[in-house]
Chains A and B, each alone.
Chain A
Amino acid sequence: MAKAEAGQSKVKVNTSSVGELKTACDTGLKELLKERGYEEMHTHTDVKLILGYVGIIFCAIDFLYSWKYPFSQTKWFSYISVSVYALTSGLALIYSYAVQRDTFFVGYNKAKGHVVSAGSRAKSNDPTYRLTLTTRPIRGSQDPPVYNSRPLELKQPFMAWFHEDGEFARPQFNSDIEAALETLLTKKTD
Chain B
Amino acid sequence: MELLSQAKKWGVRSLLIQGLTFLSVLTSAFMIWKGLSLFTNSESPVVVVLSGSMKPAYDRGDILFLHNGFSPIEVGEVVVYKLNEKPIPIVHRVMKVHTENESGKQYLLTKGDNNSADDRGLYNPGQTWIQRDEIIGRVKGFVPYAGMGTIWMNDYPYLKTVLLGTLCVMSLFGSD
Contact = CB atoms under 8 A, between A and B. Distances in A.
Interface of A: 42, 45, 48-49, 52-53, 55-56, 59-60, 62-63, 66, 70-72, 75, 78-79, 81-82, 85-86, 89
Interface in B31-47: 31, 34-35, 37-38, 43
B42 to A, nearest CB: 8
Given A62-B34, A82-B34, A82-B35, A49 B13 contact: yes
Contacts of A86: 31, 35
A20 to B, nearest CB: 11
A80 to B, nearest CB: 11
A56 B17 CA distance: 13
A52 B31 CA distance: 13
A70 B34 contact: no
B27 A85 contact: yes
A49 B34 contact: no
Contacts of A56: 20, 23-24, 27
B13 A85 contact: no
16 contacts: A49-B16, A49-B17, A52-B20, A52-B23, A55-B24, A56-B20, A56-B27, A62-B34, A66-B34, A71-B43, A78-B38, A81-B34, A82-B35, A86-B31, A86-B35, A89-B28
Contacts of B35: 82, 86
